[in-house]
Structure 1
């Protein structure tokens, strides 16, 4: 795993990369199928809805480690099946969605390099988003390795 943080004129960014033990199509399905996403992404069962196409909407209710729940909504800004997903997340009080980019690069049919990138307005927002994304990647790796994603 590698992590990179940068501060740009337009905000505070992070990039996380991992190599997952699964082909890109399997990683893509885990990220874009509501039933699979709910199993590894800390979402409340039955709360995930996804219309995975440019301009399509998504929503999920996330569950925190202490049992708290908070709803998230957004849209898909860019979709290239098995390769690229740019997810817009609605942020109260912010005119434009916060975008997170997920890129997949299949290595050998059995491994996929995943890269998550996001730019935030403040260092604190970046650090919180990076922590959440790290938790997601950790959980995704376990989900794919356990074979739960069939």
Structure 2
């Protein structure tokens, strides 16, 4: 597994890149199947709903390390299975959703390069989003490595 992290100096964006030990189809399933997503993405059991198509809605209740819960909602802005997922997250007080892009590129039949990137309105939002996305990728990596979902 390799980790790369780059944050462009001109704006409030981040990009995280990993090489995962799984084919793109398995990584796609982990991101787009409610039962699998709930297992690795810190979501409360039974809270994840996904209509994975452009304009389709999603929702999940996330659980923080201290046991707090907060609901998230949004929609899928772009879907190109199993290569591209642009997920919009509703942000209170903002007309436009925050968009996170997930790109998958299968290196071979056993490894997939995943790139997650997002542009935020402020440095604070970027830092919080980047920290959250890093936690998600760490958890996804462990989930795919354990093989129980195969």
- Which category of TM-score, normalised to the shorter sequence, fits these structures? over 0.9
TM (norm. structure 1) is 0.97
CA distance in 2, matches of 1:110, 1:83: 15
Matches of residues 1-150 of structure 1 in structure 2 within 5 Å? 1-8=3-10, 11-150=11-150
Question: Structure 1: any 5+ residue segments left out of the alignment?
Answer: none
SS in 1 for 2:7: strand
RMSD over equivalenced CA pairs, Å: 0.7
Report the alpha carbon displacement of residue 66 of structure 1 after superposing the two structures with TM: 0.3
TM (norm. structure 2) is 0.97
Report the alpha carbon displacement of residue 148 of structure 1 after superposing the two structures with TM: 2.1
Question: Structure 2: any 5+ residue segments left out of the alignment?
Answer: none
CA distance in 2, matches of 1:20, 1:116: 13
**Aligned length, in residue pairs:** 148
CA distance in 2, matches of 1:56, 1:113: 25
